[in-house]
């Protein structure tokens, strides 16, 4: 990719203000737009939903389907450079845009991230460089490949190759019969069967890579999932073994370099025990964009993952981000608008706001809501970033926040 720079507040050759665009108007697009606007950029969003979180706050909102030629032409006409906020944007749409404008990450990189089969193959290639491998797995595309699955992959998790997220498109299977039934239930779409690993922890790494190949890594996040959805991210010294964290960062940089990636990339890892009883890393999956587990950077680092996305796209410098405070991020799912909490003892039938005033009275709490019009169980409504001068304090404040919201306590 060429080393083009789009300075904030400038004017493009066509005489319009320098404009950054994003494919997709979800919460990640919204926070990209907020970071871009804070720096003085004009923004454009393409998302068919008139109430999309990013569309609601962007200077321009093109409300067509992602593959609509007229919509893509409008986005290209408006923008100097374009990124994406979700991996399921059709790769041909990104190619169309890239013929006219700077697009990062590239359609080719997004295509790897949107297909678990390609993604696993890329991880296997990178393992030779990084020493971090994916879970033992088999690709299932035909009845013959189903029959050929090695017995030691069971019990396992069957995952659709495409379109899975937040634990959707997955089935846990113990026997060959369950595996066959689960694949049937998935309409025999291409899948990956992964061996079920005993996880000691989960973590993820965000890196940002410029068009010049310079790559910077954010600190490593420790993640806790509930029901396949991220619940909590903890980032401070002692949250993870430092040697493992360093390996995870090196592996993520290798994965980005090997793809000639430009933009922000998140890679998820499992911490497991190896045959010798030592802690080891397994690479799980990647997202070609900022990630839910990186939201803590908004309040705990001098550059957020969204500002890094803006900088990488605009060709601006990318100094190594510095974390200045221990941080915990709490995901706010729609369930919180219904469940009992410290203020109401009964479940609410209609969605009612959680006790924000009490939460925000605690020092070091920053609320980020995505402007979604209705709360539903399982829907990501926002997140809370909690920071403090010490690990003990950030844990104490978080314990209070969790109690106020009626959420399970932090693990010891
Ligand atoms: P997605 O995030 O796209 O829904 P993941 O592959 O990250 O899919 O799976 C979601 C969660 O399921 C993981 O964060 C982890 O908690 C669990 N999981 C996934 N694969 C495995 C595995 N092979 N062994 C054990 N747990 C797994
Ligand atoms: Mg995941």
258-281 pLDDT, tens digit each: 999 999 999 999 999 998 999 999
**Rg, the chain, Cα only:** 21
Specify the number of domains making up the chain: 3
Answer whether residue 2 shows pLDDT above 70. no
158 forms beta bridges with 171, 193
Nearest-angstrom CA–CA distance, 32 and 201? 29
Q: Indicate if ligand 1 lies below 6 Å from the C-beta of 197.
A: yes
Q: How far is the CA of 197 from the centre of ligand 1 (A)?
A: 10
Q: Which atom of ligand 1 is nearest to the CA of 230?
A: 14
Name the residue of 152, 168, 228, 283 whose CB sits within 8 Å of the most ligand 1 atoms, as the mutation to test its pocket. Answer: 228
pLDDT per position as a tens digit, 54-66: 999 999 999 999 9
Between CA 189 and CA 162 the distance in angstroms is: 9
- pLDDT band, very low/low/confident/very high, at 169 (cuts 50, 70, 90): confident
Any atom of ligand 1 within 6 Å of the Cβ of 286 = no
**Domain presence at residue 110:** no
In this structure, is residue 119 part of a structural domain?
no
Whether residue 269 is contained in a domain is answered as yes
Best residue for ligand 1 mutational test, from 136, 173, 196, 284 (most atoms within 8 Å of Cβ):
284
**Distance of CA 328 from the midpoint of ligand 2 (Å):** 19
Same domain, 184 and 56: no
CATH number at residue 36: 3.40.50.20
298 & 388 share domain: yes
Over residues 81-85, mean pLDDT = 97
Q: What residues have CB less than 8 Å from 226, skipping those under 6 apart?
A: 408
Last residue of a domain, one of 195, 217, 235: 195
Which pair of structure tokens corresponds to residue 92? 């041909």
Pairwise CA distance, residues 210 & 29, whole Å: 19
pLDDT of residue 27: 98
Band of pLDDT at residue 351, cut at 50, 70 and 90: very high
Within a domain: 3: no
Instruction: Give the mean pLDDT of 277-288.
Output: 96
Who surrounds ion ligand 2 at CB < 5 A? 268
The 8-class DSSP code of residue 407 comes to P
- Ligand 1 centroid from CA 114, angstroms: 15
Please indicate, yes or no, if residue 118 is contained in any of the structural domains: no
8 A C-beta contact, residue 270 and residue 281:
yes
Q: How confident is the model at residue 88 (pLDDT cuts 50, 70, 90)?
A: confident
Chain segment 95-150, per-residue pLDDT in tens = 999 999 999 999 999 999 999 999 999 999 999 888 899 999 999 999 999 999 99
Residue whose CA lies nearest to ligand 1 atom number 8 = 167
CA nearest 215: which of 297, 127, 311?
311
Residues linked to residue 383 through DSSP beta bridges, in sequence order: 331, 368
Q: Strand, helix or coil at 43?
A: strand
Q: Domain ends where: 195, 228, 245?
A: 195
Is residue 36 domain-resident? Answer: yes
Residue 91 has a pLDDT of: 87
**Dist CA 278 CA 133 (whole Å):** 16
Q: pLDDT grade, residue 164 (50/70/90)?
A: confident
Which tokens sit at 112? 């790897």
Same domain, 159 and 205: no
Contacts of 269 (CB under 8 A, 6+ apart): 132, 202, 203, 204, 205, 248, 251, 281, 282, 283, 284
- What pLDDT sits at residue 150? 96
Measured distance CA(22)–CA(264) in Å, rounded? 13
137, 138, 170, best to mutate for ligand 1 pocket (most atoms within 8 Å of CB): 170
CB 398, CB 386: distance < 8 Å: yes
Domain span at residue 48 reads: 19-103
- Which residue is closest in CA terms to ligand 1's atom 5? 167
Main-chain phi, psi angles of 245, to 5 degrees: -60, -40
What is the average pLDDT score of the chain?
96
Query: Hey, whose CA ends up nearest to atom 12 of ligand 1?
Result: 228
Tens of pLDDT, residue by residue over 379-394, are: 999 999 999 999 999 9
Q: Does the beta carbon of 379 lie inside 6 Å of ligand 1? A: no
At residue 61, what are phi and psi to the nearest 5 degrees? -135, 115
Please report whether residue 26 resides in a domain. yes
Please tell me the distance between residue 162's alpha carbon and the centre of ligand 2 in angstroms: 13
Please state the rounded mean pLDDT for residues 340-349: 94
β-pair partners for 17:
11
Q: Is residue 67 a part of any domain in this protein?
A: yes
Residue 285 beta carbon below 6 angstroms from any ligand 1 atom: yes
Helices (H), 80-137: 91-98, 107-113, 116-130
DSSP string, 168-207: TTEEEE-SHHHHHHHHHHTTT--EEEEEPP--SEEEEEEE
Distance in Å, CA 335 to ligand 2 centroid: 20
- pLDDT tens-place string over residues 201-231: 999 999 999 999 999 999 999 999 998 899 9
Same domain, 214 and 278: yes
Q: Which atom of ligand 1 is nearest to the CA of 156?
A: 23
DSSP string, 247-295: HHHHHHHHHHHHTT--EEEEEEEEEEE-TTS-EEEEEEEEESS--GGGT
Q: How far is the CA of 156 from the centre of ligand 1 (A)?
A: 11
């Amino acid at each position: 990719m060429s080393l083009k720079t789009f300075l904030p507040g400038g004017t493009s050759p066509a005489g319009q203000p320098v404009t950054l665009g994003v494919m997709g108007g979800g919460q990640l697009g919204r926070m990209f737009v907020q970071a871009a606007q804070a720096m003085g950029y004009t923004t454009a969003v393409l998302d068919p939903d008139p109430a999309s979180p990013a569309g609601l706050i962007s200077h321009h909102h093109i409300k067509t389907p992602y593959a609509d030629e007229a919509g893509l032409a409008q986005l290209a006409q408006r923008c100097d450079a374009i990124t994406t906020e979700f991996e399921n944007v059709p790769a041909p749409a990104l190619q169309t845009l890239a013929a006219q404008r700077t697009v990062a990450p590239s359609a080719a990189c997004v295509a790897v991230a949107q297909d678990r089969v390609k993604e696993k193959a890329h991880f296997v290639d990178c393992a030779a460089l990084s020493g971090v491998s994916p879970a033992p797995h088999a690709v299932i595309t035909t009845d013959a490949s189903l029959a050929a699955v090695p017995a030691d992959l069971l019990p396992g998790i069957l995952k659709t190759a495409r379109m899975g997220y937040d634990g959707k498109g997955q089935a846990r299977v113990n026997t060959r019969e369950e595996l066959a039934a689960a694949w049937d239930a998935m309409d025999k779409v291409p899948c990956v069967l992964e061996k079920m690993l005993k996880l000691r922890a989960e973590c993820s790494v965000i890196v940002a890579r410029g068009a010049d190949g310079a790559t910077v890594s954010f600190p490593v996040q420790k993640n806790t999932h509930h029901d396949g959805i991220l619940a909590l991210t903890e980032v401070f010294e002692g949250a993870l073994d430092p040697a493992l964290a360093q390996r995870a960062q090196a592996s993520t940089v290798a994965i980005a370099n090997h793809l000639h990636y430009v933009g922000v990339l998140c890679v998820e890892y499992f911490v497991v025990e190896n045959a010798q009883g030592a802690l080891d890393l397994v690479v799980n999956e990647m997202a070609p964009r900022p990630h839910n587990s990186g939201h803590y950077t908004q309040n705990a680092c001098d550059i957020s993952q969204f500002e890094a996305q803006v900088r990488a796209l605009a060709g601006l410098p990318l100094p190594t981000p510095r974390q200045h405070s221990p941080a915990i991020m709490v995901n706010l799912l729609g369930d919180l608008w219904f469940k009992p909490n410290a203020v109401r003892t009964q479940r609410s039938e209609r969605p009612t706001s959680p006790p924000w005033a009490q939460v925000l009275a605690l020092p070091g709490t920053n609320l980020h809501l995505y402007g979604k019009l209705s709360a539903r169980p399982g829907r990501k409504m926002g997140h809370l970033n909690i920071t403090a001068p010490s690990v003990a304090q950030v844990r104490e404040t978080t314990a209070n926040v969790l109690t106020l919201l009626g959420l399970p306590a932090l693990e010891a």
